[in-house]
Structure formats: C-alpha cells, structure tokens
A = this chain, B = another copy of it.
C-alpha cells in the first residue's frame, strides 16, 4: 500500500484533488459540508501531505532556517527553545545550522538551505558576509537577526545592546566599591567585543580603566576556561579586586578558582557574570549577573516569521537586559 496522495483522498471524498488541497490549507474557502467530508477522507486514508511536492509547487517550504554560532552553547539552546515554541503553533518546523562562529560557514550553510526558499531565516548577529546579504536579497525571504541591535537590519532584528548590558554590569561593580575591575572573555565573537567595549566605557567613565585589566582568548568558552583566565588576570593585574565576565560559564569558573585560591567572594573579590543561566542563582555564593532575554528573543523571532504580515513589528526590537544582583557582589 503506497502512501496516499491528494488524489486518493479526493477519490474517497468524491471531490477533486485541488479541493482537498484547499480544504486543508484554506478551510474558509470551502463549504462546511465539504470540509467535513474531506477531513473524514483524510482520516480514513491516513493522508499526510508530501512536503517536497508542496515546496516544489509553491517554491516555499514550511521550515524556518536558524543558523547559530554553536549548538552546545546554552545561550543558543535557550534561543532555539523559544523559536521552537513559537513555530510549533504555526505548524512550522525548524532547520538548525551550526556555523561555528564563522561567517563563511554561515554563508555556506545558508546557500545550501535557500533552495527552495525557506519560510524564513533567523541569523545570529549582524556579521554576515556581503555574499550572504546578496543571496538573501535575491531569494526574497524574510530574515530576522537576533542577539544584537542595528539601525539597518536585513529584515528585522530582535536583541539587546551588548555594549550597554556589559556597561551596566561593570558599573554595578564600580558602585559596589570595587576599584580594580578586570574582564574575562573567551570565544571573542563580535558580541563579546561589544561587551568588552561596554566594560571599558564603564571604567573610563569612572576613571578606573587599567590596560592590564582584560584577559581574553579566542578558545571556546567554558567553566574551565573561566578558571584559567582568572589565573591569567590576577597574575597580570595583581591589584585586581573584581571581574566582569563575558558569560556565566566564565563567571562560575572564576568563582571556583577563587575558592581554590582562598580568595573570598564577595569580600576580597567581586564577580559579575552575563546571561543569568539558572545555576548562577543557586551556587554558593550566588553570582550577580546581567540577565538577557534569550528565550524571549527566540520566541519573538519565531513569532515574527510565523505571521504573514510582520508589519506590526518594529524593524528593530530591543528586549533589554536587567542586572540581577546576588551575593557575589554584595559585601
């Protein structure tokens, strides 16, 4: 028994194939009785639409392409969860591409994903190659960039100001009275660079910036790297009495390294993270961090691509951030 097609359903329902197609896709265009008959026939035959045929005929898929820098970074899995949630209600599926923080790879992935044109595209950041921009223009597919802000996005952009967020976190350390504040950063992608800029801005405003204060690497970011970088920082900047971390993994690594070295947090040393992953609120001492609306960003990006006319949304949507003060900076 081969898979039933529209024609098979049509035969059972006693109507034409195109009517079945319409009954399923645009229910309001057919009469009530017919719609019921068609649904009955669908149930009877176990019909499932062939997505390839649909895509080929309409030159559009029901799939949103999401290209993220890393599949194992909690930040992006939160985003993905939000996207998935939003798309589910619109009967759309999600195609994940893992670009590994490389715009060229992003371009390669997109190229392979754009024929046939997907329903929409979600990209991280604004660092697309010129070829990518050209490609997206040619295909005429709705694009939402995420995790950043820009006055001139490809389509729409949903995110927050990494610079401002990092500045807020750093300023908080200043306000808590820390005098020699350092910065830890790994996987220094453009958004990390923005956060570094925000860090510098806060310290320059406070007249506290020291050129020895930043310890960064382009290696992947994880808890262990946080410990390593903290070691690097205190050896190059011994007076250092607090640190703003580019993300929570680094912050946790720094915290644990402080434990190991007998540095008292927050008394001798303040720590501020970035993102507000769940664990920062639970560990001991709990870690102050800048909360970012990751899931909400994903959800909104998915929503924007779900509706036909996304005109209701602004071109640039700033979902903001908020400082979550906890024990690691409260002395």
* Interface set of A (CB-CB < 8 Å, partner B): 1, 3, 48-53, 55-56, 61, 71-72, 74, 77-78, 80-81, 84, 93-98, 111-116, 138, 222-224, 226-227, 249, 252-253, 256, 259-260, 278-279, 281-284
Contacts and interface: CB of A to CB of B under 8 A. Distances in A.
A283 to B, nearest CB: 5
Nearest to A93: B95
Q: Nearest 4 CB-CB pairs, A to B?
A: A52-B55, A259-B284, A52-B56, A223-B282
Nearest to A253: B282
A102 to B, nearest CB: 13
A54 to B, nearest CB: 8
Given A51-B116, A71-B77, A224-B281, 4 more contacts: A53-B56, A71-B81, A72-B77, A72-B78
A227 B116 contact: no
Contact of A279 (B94, B111, B113, B223): B223
Nearest to A139: B3
Residue from A222, A226, A283 with most neighbouring chain B CB atoms (10 Å): A283
Contacts of A97: 93
14 contacts: A48-B112, A48-B114, A50-B116, A71-B80, A74-B74, A81-B98, A93-B95, A93-B112, A94-B96, A95-B95, A253-B282, A256-B282, A259-B284, A279-B279
As for how many copies of this chain the complex holds, the number is: 2
Contacts of A74: 74
Nearest to A105: B88
Given A3-B115, A116-B50, A71 B84 contact: yes
Contacts of A80: 71-72, 96
Contacts of A282: 223-224, 226-227, 252-253, 256
A49 B56 CA distance: 12
A21 to B, nearest CB: 15
Contacts of A55: 52
Q: Is the interface of A mostly helix, strand, loop or mixed?
A: helix
A52 B278 contact: no
Contacts of A284: 256, 259-260
Contacts of A114: 48
B48 A56 contact: no
A226 to B, nearest CB: 8
A157 B34 CA distance: 45
A75 to B, nearest CB: 11
Nearest to A53: B56
Given A95-B95, A222-B278, A260-B284, A115 B84 contact: no
Contacts of A94: 96
Contacts of A51: 52, 115-116
Contacts of A252: 279, 282-283
Contacts of A93: 95, 97, 112-113
Nearest to A47: B115
A56 B112 CA distance: 17
Nearest to A62: B112
Contact of A278 (B56, B81, B224): B224
